[in-house]
Structure 1
Amino acid sequence: MRVLPIVAALLLSAGTASAEFAISFTWGDIPLCTTGRPNRVGAPAFTIKDLPAGTTTVEFRLKDLDVPSYNHGGGKVKISGSGKLPFGTFKYKSPCPPGGSHTYEWTATAKAGNKVVGTAKARRAYPE
C-alpha cells in the first residue's frame, strides 16, 4: 500500500511549515494624505495574537494592493510577550492614495533568529 509513505511525507513537511498567527492594526494619528506623495510617519499600533513559539523579531512590510509596485517600506522589531506594539515603533512611508481610497496590506513575518516561523497579514482601507 502506497498511502503510508505519502501520509508520512505530508506529516514531515507539515512540521517544517511556518505557523500562522494574527495581526490587526489601526492607522493611528497620521496626517491625512491623498496627494500620492507619502509622508514618513510612525508605524500603526499593532496587536499580535498567537505568535509562534521562539519568535525573537517580527518584520513588517506595507503594500498598496491598488499599486503593488510602490515600496512603502516597513520595519523590524524585537518582540516582547505583550502582543502589543505601540504607535510609532518604526518609520515607514504612509498610505497616500491620489484621489480616492486604496486598500493596504501589512505583512508580518515572525522570525526565530534567521528562520521564518510564521506569517500574518491584515488589510485596511485608507482613508477609511
Structure 2
Amino acid sequence: MEGLLNNYYETAAIILFGVGFTILLLHNNLIKKIIGMNIMDTAIFLFFIAKGYIEGKEAPIIVNSYKGVNAYINPIPTGLMLTGIVVGVSTTAFALALTIKIYENYGTIELDEILKKGDG
C-alpha cells in the first residue's frame, strides 16, 4: 500500500488506463470509443513522463554553467512523449473523420446498428 501512495502519478496513470479501456470495451458509440482511446493515450503519457522525472534534477537546459551529467534528467522520455502526443492527435483526427464518413453512409454511429444495416 505504501508503494501506491509514493507513486501516485503512476497509480493515477494505471487507473486512467483502466477507465479508458473499460470505455473502449463497453460502449457501442464510436465517439465514446474515441474518447476512451484518448484517455488511454493520456494515461500512457502520464506514466512515461512520471517515470522520466527524477526528484532533485533539472531539465537539460544549460543556463549559466554546466553542472555535469548527473545534474540533469534524461530528455529522451519527454521527447518521445511529445512525439506520442502528435501521433495521438493525428489518430484522433483520422478516427473522427472516419466516424463522420460512417455516419454519412449509415446514418448512425452506434456499432450495433451499423452491423445490422451492413448485414441487410
State whether TM-score is above 0.5. Answer: no
TM-score by length of 2: 0.25
In proportion to residue count, which structure has more helix?
2
Identify the structure with bigger relative contact order (alpha carbons < 8 Å, sequence gap 6+). Answer: 1
In proportion to residue count, which structure has more strand?
1
